[in-house]
């Protein structure tokens, strides 16, 4: 049955299929075991892939840049569909930018800067794709995807292409309708404002300088591990609980920014989960607040 699935998948995907691809090669945490099959398809191939997955009851994961996921050490028993090379084109018309879901937020921010368009500086240092960014409603320094998005093209679970306007995206803090309805984002259109190139560059440099100064960018991580609890900051709660530098195996609560769990020495997903549990328990015991992970868990833990 699995052999048959692979054979039929191969006949759909022009870019080839990879079996047992290690997910630590595709996540910024640099952890995660193998997935069953890995593909980086053309957009028009995705509906047939979804149909096949349904027929064979094969679970699938949409992968952007892997900067907000934790994949289990045992890997992922399913198909990984990467929004890759085939889907990274960026087009600009007036103040509007449309980008393939796989385009990096940095590339889109650079394209905006080069065209003198302001309003996307906040995203320039977020190491995700624009599809993943919209899915997560990513944000930083007072800006978020919600502020700039106009519409997105997506594929629903039945394999139909749909156009979704910003008003119908249910965007809120690290939440979107794309999560609720299992929609695959294939392209995103944002609207910016005309600005001064020097000022845009200065703002991007300022944000990226602040990131370098405050975040442990030298170590693999998934950024802020926990969501910001209302009226508080996860990093502060963790630091106040005395957990700075707490370590389990190769995973550590960053001393530079306690909201980050970092992979300091060949951490496993298991190390990261155990550390997360300790942090949650201790913060809950000391502050009464249960920290909720922002990171998405993939596979069995």
Please identify every residue annotated as catalytic.
174, 224, 294
Q: Residues near 88 by Cβ (< 8 Å), separated by ≥ 6?
A: 99, 100, 102, 103, 104, 107
61 is a site residue for ligand FAD (CB under 6 A): yes
Residue closer to ligand FAD, measured from CB, 177 or 284: 177
225 interacts with ligand FAD by CB under 6 A? no
The pairing of beta strand 96-100 with beta strand 184-191? antiparallel
- 184 near ligand FAD, judged by CB under 6 A: yes
Nearest to 63 by CA among 44, 47, 78: 78
140, 149, 246, 276: which one binds ligand FAD (CB under 6 A): 140
The answer to whether residue 28 forms part of the interface with ligand FAD (CB under 6 A) is yes
- CA dist., res. 135 & res. 180, Å (int): 10
Q: Which two tokens stand for residue 199?
A: 């000022």
**Residue 70 engages ligand FAD in binding (rule: CB under 6 A):** no
Count of C-beta atoms within a 10 Å radius of residue 266 = 12
d(C-alpha 239, C-alpha 123), whole Å: 26
* Cβ neighbour number for residue 15 with a 10 Å cutoff: 14
Closer residue to ligand FAD in complex, CB, 98/215:
215
Among 41, 119, 131, 195, binds ligand FAD (CB under 6 A): 131
Strand-pair partners of 172? 175
CA distance 71 to 182: 19
Query: How many chain residues touch ligand FAD (CB under 6 A)?
Result: 33
Under the binding rule (CB under 6 A), the answer on residue 65 touching ligand FAD is: yes
Write each residue from 185 to 204 as x if it is in contact with ligand FAD (CB under 6 A), else as -, in one continuous string: x-------------------
Between 138 and 251, CB nearer to ligand FAD: 138
What are the φ and ψ backbone dihedral angles of 229, each rounded to 5 degrees?
-70, 150
- Is 80 a binder of ligand FAD (CB under 6 A)? no
39: Cα separation from own chain's centroid: 18
Q: Which span sits near ligand FAD by CB under 6 A: 8-16, 39-47, 122-130, 192-200?
A: 122-130
264 is a site residue for ligand FAD (CB under 6 A): no
* Closest distance of CB 131 from ligand FAD, Å: 3
Residue 228 is given by DSSP the state P
Does 126 participate in binding ligand FAD (rule CB under 6 A)? yes
Q: Which residues of 43-77 are buried (b: 16+ CB within 10 A; e: fewer)?
A: bebbbbbbebbeeeebebbbbbbbbbbbbbbebbe
Our finding on whether 237 is near ligand FAD (CB under 6 A) is: no
- Residue 235, interface with ligand FAD (CB under 6 A)? no
Residue 138 or 200: which CB sits closer to ligand FAD? 138
Q: Residue 63 CB, nearest distance to ligand FAD (Å)?
A: 5
- Residue (136 or 164) nearer to ligand FAD, CB: 136
CB 241 within 8 A of CB 282: yes
Residues contributing to the site for ligand FAD (CB under 6 A): 28, 61-69, 83, 101, 126-129, 131-133, 135-136, 138-140, 178, 184-185, 215, 217, 221-223, 296
């Amino acid at each position: 049955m699995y052999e048959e699935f692979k054979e039929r998948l191969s006949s759909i995907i022009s870019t080839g299929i990879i079996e047992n691809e290690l997910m630590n090669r595709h996540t910024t945490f640099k952890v995660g075991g193998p997935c069953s099959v890995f593909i980086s398809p053309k957009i028009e191939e995705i509906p047939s892939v979804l149909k096949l997955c349904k027929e064979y009851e094969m679970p699938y994961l949409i992968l952007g840049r892997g900067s907000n996921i934790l994949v289990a050490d045992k890997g992922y028993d399913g198909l990984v569909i990467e929004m890759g090379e085939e889907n990274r084109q960026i087009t600009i018309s007036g103040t509007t930018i449309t980008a393939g879901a796989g385009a990096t937020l940095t590339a889109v921010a650079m394209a905006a800067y080069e065209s003198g368009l302001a309003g996307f500086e906040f995203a320039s240092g977020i190491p995700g794709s624009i599809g993943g960014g919209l899915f997560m409603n990513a944000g930083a320094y007072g800006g978020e995807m919600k502020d700039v998005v106009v519409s997105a093209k997506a594929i629903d679970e039945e394999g139909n292409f749909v156009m979704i306007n910003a008003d119908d995206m249910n965007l809120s803090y690290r939440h979107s309708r794309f999560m609720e309805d299992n929609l695959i984002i294939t392209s995103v259109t944002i609207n910016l404002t005309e600005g001064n190139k020097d000022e845009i560059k200065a703002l991007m440099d300022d944000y990226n300088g602040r990131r370098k100064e405050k975040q442990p960018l030298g170590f693999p991580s998934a950024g802020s591990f926990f969501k910001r609890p209302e009226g508080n900051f996860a990093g502060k709660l963790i630091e106040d609980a005395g957990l700075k530098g707490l370590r389990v195996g190769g995973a550590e609560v960053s001393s530079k920014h306690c909201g980050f769990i970092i992979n300091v020495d060949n951490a496993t997903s298991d190390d990261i989960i155990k550390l997360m549990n300790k942090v949650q328990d201790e913060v809950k015991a000391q502050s009464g607040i249960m920290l909720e992970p922002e990171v998405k868990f993939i596979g069995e833990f």
